[in-house]
Structures are given as structure tokens and as C-alpha cells.
Amino acid sequence: MEKALGKNLPQMELRFQDMSISADIMVKDESDITVELPTLTNVIKTGFREIRSSTLVVKKQVLKNVSGVFKPGTITLVLGQPGSGKSSLMK
């Protein structure tokens, strides 16, 4: 891209240390806090739970004390289970 523009782009290194992110999530009861894979069966079970019970808002820690570095000119692969905080980390 720098060749196409004919000039050098600014380089920046992004560092973070002890980063924690939590979110308020709605659950039917305290036992629903566990993460389930989004299979057809689990989606149907969740739908029935939503119909027959009241909601409760709980705070779930998505990332806890995560540290790292994103260096210029590199590609970073972020892997994790659904709901493990990959998108939250990249925001």
C-alpha cells in the first residue's frame, strides 16, 4: 500500500496490559451463565426458557487480566470459543 501511495505510512505498536472487560447479560437463572455452543437443540432450548421464565441481568467477565502487543506489519490470529471475548478484544 505504501508503494501505491508513494509515501511511508505511520507505524504504530499497540500494547495493552491487565485489560479486563465485563458485560451485562440477561439470563433466566444463575445456571444459564455457562456458555453453550449454538446448536439447533440449544437454540430451541433457549427459546423455550425465554418464554417460560423471567430474566435476570448478571455481569459476566469476558476478558480477565489479558496482556499483549500488536506489532506493525504483522497479522494476529485470535482464537477462542464462542463468547470468549475475541471481538471484545479487537474493539
The tens digit of pLDDT for each residue in 10-59 reads: 888 989 999 998 888 877 665 555 556 678 887 787 777 666 666 678 88
Nearest Cα residue to 89 out of 12, 14, 32, 37: 14
Q: What's the DSSP call for residue 31?
A: G
pLDDT greater than 80 at residue 84: no
Segments forming the whole domain that contains residue 8: 2-90
Q: How many domains does the chain have?
A: 1
pLDDT greater than 60 at residue 7: yes
CA distance 38 to 29: 19
Q: What is the pLDDT of residue 25?
A: 80
**Mean per-residue pLDDT, 65-79:** 87
Nearest Cα residue to 62 out of 26, 29, 88, 32: 88
